[in-house]
Amino acid sequence: MFDILIVGAGMIGSAAARHASMNPKLKVGLIGPEEPQSRDIEDDRDVFAAHYDEGRVTHQLDPDVVWSIMARRSIERYREIERLSGLKFYDERGSLWVASNNEKIIDLLQQCATSQGIHCNTDTEMLRQKFSFIDLPPHDKWIFESSNAGAISARGLVRAQQTVARRNGCQIIRDVVNKVTRCPDKAGEYPMRIVTDSGTEYFAKKVLLAPGAFTVSRDLIDTNLKLDVKLTPIIVTLAEIGEQDAEMLQTMPTVFYSGGGRSGWWDNIPSDSRGHSGFYMLPPIRYPDGKFYVKIGTIRGYIQSEGLQTSADLKAWYCQKSHTDHTTALGRLIQSLLPGVTVKSTHRDSCVIVQTPTSRPYIGMVHSSLGLVTGGNGLAAKSSDELGRLAITMIEDAWEDEKLTTDMFRIQYKNHE
């Protein structure tokens, strides 16, 4: 029997478990499977996640101030989480934003920096010299956020959050939830019933759903309402480089680009009507296989699809191994951006983004005993600790925040008035 049972042991769910476990009066549980050893369509497993990765960008600047506030609060707690867990996951390398002169994002970022008091360097010529190993168009604008920005290990952050939560008394259950319902006797002390793939039943006073894309593909919301979300499959590319090249790039920040780019950059990469597109790129990171990879993904290059609805759809996407034109194009883009580096091989990786109409996450109560946090919109990794904290304050009916109000995260449903 649990006071709060959290379904989904990813970045947000694990953060929520840590925050809930800080209250010694609560019996807290977290349910989610271990990372799979393989992605094979023939395996029985059908639940995967985007946090099975070593590289995520983190930064305070954001065109949307709400995301900026959530990121800043999360980043301010990174070192404390590392200290409490004894695990390192944060590399404070800084974050570089570059855009064509006619892109609105630079003005929005500068407005964010001013309103939130974020120190940034906007001396483009000085920054070009500082990061001369990155080859970008000559007339673009640069903004550099040197502190409270860089890269995090998604795996490492999840592991750290769960380590602290477990030490605080949280019970971590390695299973997959199949169904969440209200008990027939809704007046009982533990009104929520949770059934896992193994057939085990758990009961809780309140349940918080945080299973990402799998929120809508399993029987988790005990209503006839359908969340207004879109599951968007995306491809990223990991470019393998040698140790010597990784050493040469040891001062490289995370990089965001938006604009016209150079000739050939956007070949086989979706762009807008002006021929503009964008990408994010991480510095070299050593992965579990011992090799260094530069990770790159496109901002406008999502692989649009309406077909991801069931667990089988999601499994098929995560298990795809084809080497697409998109992956090859991203590998060429890295070679153009880092001309002094040799790309030894390129590898595709897949994930799924939960997009909302508001471009902000949903954090709300489905009913009095069931809470929900979902809708990362491709931006949630860096802000996951604050998202988990907000979700727990919500489910404990203790939300008091002048800057982030509940109306900003209200759940929307399809065909519901």
Using alpha carbons, select from 287, 283, 288 the residue that is nearest to residue 247: 283
Using alpha carbons, select from 174, 200, 218, 217 the residue that is nearest to residue 9: 174
In angstroms, the first-to-last Cα distance of the chain is 35
pLDDT of residue 269: 84
Indicate the fold that domain 95-146+230-355 takes in CATH.
Answer: D-Amino Acid Oxidase; Chain A, domain 2 (3.30.9)
330-348 pLDDT, tens per residue? Answer: 999 999 999 999 999 998 8
236-247 pLDDT, tens per residue? Answer: 899 999 999 999
82-131 pLDDT, tens per residue? Answer: 999 999 999 999 999 999 988 899 999 999 999 999 999 999 999 999 99
The pair of structure tokens assigned to 42 is 């023939």
Using alpha carbons, select from 305, 301, 303 the residue that is nearest to residue 281: 301
223-232 pLDDT, tens per residue? Answer: 677 899 988 8
Q: Confidence class of residue 305 from pLDDT cuts 50, 70 and 90?
A: low
d(CA 212, CA 11): 10
Dihedrals phi, psi of 254, to nearest 5 degrees:
-70, 150
Q: Confidence class of residue 173 from pLDDT cuts 50, 70 and 90?
A: very high
Average pLDDT over residues 352-363: 93
Residue 42 CB partners (closer than 8 Å, separation 6+): none
Using alpha carbons, select from 329, 11, 390, 332 the residue that is nearest to residue 165: 11
Residue 274 CB partners (closer than 8 Å, separation 6+): 260
Asked if domains 2-40+156-224+358-409 and 95-146+230-355 share a fold, the reply is no
Range from 33-42, 196-205, 397-406 carrying the lowest mean pLDDT: 33-42
DSSP string, 263-310: TTTTTTS---TTS-EEEEEPPPEE-TTS-EEEEEEESS-----S---S
Q: Confidence class of residue 304 from pLDDT cuts 50, 70 and 90?
A: low
Angle at 269 between CA 96 and CA 95, to 5 degrees: 10
pLDDT at 300 over 60: no
Q: Confidence class of residue 301 from pLDDT cuts 50, 70 and 90?
A: very low
pLDDT at 417 over 60: no
CB-based contact 87:159 (threshold 8 Å): yes
- Cβ neighbourhood burial of 406 (10 Å; 0-12, 13-18, 19+): middle
CATH of 2-40+156-224+358-409, one of 3.10.50.40, 3.50.50.60, 3.40.50.620, 1.10.540.10: 3.50.50.60
The DSSP element (H or E) to which 78 belongs, if any, is helix 65-85
Domain ranges of the chain: 2-40+156-224+358-409, 95-146+230-355
Q: Confidence class of residue 362 from pLDDT cuts 50, 70 and 90?
A: very high
The count of residues in the chain is: 417
Q: Confidence class of residue 313 from pLDDT cuts 50, 70 and 90?
A: confident
Mean of the per-residue pLDDT values of the chain: 91
Q: Which is higher by pLDDT, 312 or 360?
A: 360
